[in-house]
Structure 1
């Protein structure tokens, strides 16, 4: 149970106890003073019964919450349009007027019951707006002063005492009303904050799950690119060398091709281990320029295509993600030269261009029709995946890839990247 609920329960019990004590004392004193027993007991019983029924309907039972707006309206009752009196009083106000009317009957029988007015003043502060509460309290005070003065004689104490009691009770009830309102508002805010926190935790869990899925997808994309640019190209090279060895009858040439196959297999086995470990490619251990020269030399040794590497500007201090992306692009472009171009020569140019770096791979092969290839589905088996993967990798790092070709006029692949990038190695 919340602290607010505990406080409200205690206020309810105190209100019930106070009225019970005042009624019992007044009834006892009235009987002792010789008031008619029948009318007094009947009036007092009706007063207690009306209070109990109204308290039950308004939710004043012990153990229930007691917001003033609920007290002013029976529990579960819908708010209905009302005239001026209805807007001022509400259901709880009308119940209080009935309670006051029954109290007047008992006071008419015996003046000893005038002090039940203290409970009426407390209820007025709880159940009515300020102006009606003050008006009703003043009317009750007038009855108390008049009846007490008529019974015991008019004295200063008979007027000042009840007046002080009325002011104190009304001020106390209004203060408690505000405290209850503030407590309930804080409770509503706490409930809203808890609900918002739970919703935030749910959203955070969903975000973490989405990030995990995105990370897994990114890792699959990285592996597919690296497998294509390393293992697939290596297998392609080994396959071409094996076919060349099978087609030649020269034992010396076969031994030379077998040596090339062994070297290529060993290199790509090491590269496969680095791909699995998500490390930088082995050829980059001595720099991008040396890696490009080795690729061109391997292409010339294995296929006879003359390879030339040109370097223009300062490209010695490139970030690792930039070097990896450009190396993968060169590997993919040279693999296409090996398999499709029928070229006699290829030129690889690495150029510094202010805040960016450019890689151009140009061959003098048969070329192809760009318009025909652009609308064709790309896949790793049918070709074209390497250029698409290279373009995606470059775009992720803030760069791009352009391809120029025409039948009989060779092919030019041009990649560009900013020199500084925060992208991850892929």
Structure 2
């Protein structure tokens, strides 16, 4: 195992520290009943063991494998010497076993555990070793190895789980970035792109008016183009500041729709009416903004693609939902064919409409046949 101070290695290190301290205290208490000379020798050996043990931990991370093994050898020799005088020092075998596996996490660590086990059994032979005296170290070795590798497996599972969680978080972040890019693309299409298209049409029309010497009409169209540019500038600033649509900040949904349709009507030279049915109510800003954007995209399509002379936008307030219908008398189209086309330039508006409605639990319905106009209906639940 890597001895860097990871969370897992810290936990194991602290556990070994507590175990070693406890065993040292137990061994020291057994000195009370020993002869003075043996007691002093045992205390000196146990103190030396403690100094070498705790002192070595301070340098363990900076040592290469050679100094680490030397440190383990010195600890083992000190422990063996203490065990020859005070049998209670044998308890420190538990700490040494964990140290061997922690420092040398391979077959060599297990070999060291086996060697220390053999020493603890061999030292008892001159005193008529018992069955329990032999089985104790053997069982301890098996238990320590099992605990250590179970802990290592758990630590590896924890590490893999953290990596998986980090990967999932990164995937969610990337998905959020993509969704935000799509949202911004829809915002730009429904506001800035529509506004710039209107300005372009107005300036072309003003250019034609100047060719026919109709300067008053040309000035009127240029003034409207300036107003549209000003509105677009406000929209851009609101978008950058993550604010609600500028039109909604200044008026109600119906008022924002009237202002939006007035600009389109003046640009394209068609009649666009706005009606309100039911009891108008102040809706959550997220719903009003989505409905305004969807209507803006639909009216923009009417102006650019339908060839209509009249259109109507109707806002219907019901108890459980709000609905916006955009109807025109243009040339119509085949909804199935249009929705089957991949989203792209000129088609992103329909994709944006569906996405905005779905985010609010609503739906967008297209009804049209070639030569018979078109109707776009968006409904959003209020619950």
Do both proteins adopt the same fold according to a TM-score greater than 0.5, normalized to the shorter chain? Answer: yes
Question: Which structure 2 residues correspond to residues 280-319 of structure 1 after superposition, within 5 A?
Answer: 280-285=244-249, 286-319=251-284
Q: Aligned residue for 1:356?
A: 321
Kindly indicate whether residue 272 of structure 2 is the aligned counterpart of residue 262 of structure 1.
Answer: no
C-alpha spacing 1:173/1:317, structure 2 compared with 1 (3 Å): farther
Q: Aligned residue for 1:414?
A: 377
C-alpha spacing 1:203/1:315, structure 2 compared with 1 (3 Å): farther
Which SS does the other structure have where 2:128 is aligned?
helix
Gaps of 5+ in 1: 22-58, 72-95, 100-113, 120-168, 421-426
C-alpha spacing 1:377/1:65, structure 2 compared with 1 (3 Å): same
The list of structure 1 runs, each at least 4 consecutive aligned residues, that deviate by more than 6 angstroms after superposition, is: 4-9, 59-63
Moved more, 308-317 or 288-297: 308-317
**Deviation at residue 170 of structure 1 after TM alignment:** 2.8
Aligned equivalents of 1:395 and 1:359: distance in 2?
Answer: 15
Aligned equivalents of 2:271 and 2:287: distance in 1?
Answer: 26
CA contact (8 A) 1:378 1:384 kept: yes
Corresponding residue to 2:172 among 189, 211, 235:
211
Kindly indicate whether residue 361 of structure 2 is the aligned counterpart of residue 398 of structure 1.
Answer: yes
C-alpha spacing 1:374/1:204, structure 2 compared with 1 (3 Å): closer
Per-residue CA deviation, residues 352-399 of structure 1 (Å, 9 max, x unaligned), is 34432211111111112334434434422xx22211111122223222
**Deviation at residue 115 of structure 1 after TM alignment:** 6.7
Aligned equivalents of 2:83 and 2:149: distance in 1?
Answer: 29
CA contact (8 A) 2:113 2:141 kept: no
Q: Aligned residue for 2:242?
A: 278
CA contact (8 A) 1:13 1:62 kept: no
**Deviation at residue 177 of structure 1 after TM alignment:** 4.3
Aligned equivalents of 2:161 and 2:109: distance in 1?
Answer: 37
**Deviation at residue 289 of structure 1 after TM alignment:** 1.7
CA contact (8 A) 1:291 1:327 kept: yes
CA contact (8 A) 2:272 2:310 kept: yes
C-alpha spacing 1:177/1:233, structure 2 compared with 1 (3 Å): same
**Deviation at residue 296 of structure 1 after TM alignment:** 2.2
Aligned equivalents of 2:331 and 2:160: distance in 1?
Answer: 61
- TM-score (structure 1 length as normaliser): 0.60
C-alpha spacing 1:340/1:61, structure 2 compared with 1 (3 Å): closer
Which SS does the other structure have where 1:343 is aligned?
coil
Which SS does the other structure have where 2:366 is aligned?
strand
Q: Aligned residue for 1:369?
A: 334
Aligned equivalents of 1:273 and 1:376: distance in 2?
Answer: 33
Corresponding residue to 1:118 among 122, 128, 153:
128
Corresponding residue to 1:379 among 336, 344, 362:
344
CA contact (8 A) 1:402 1:415 kept: yes
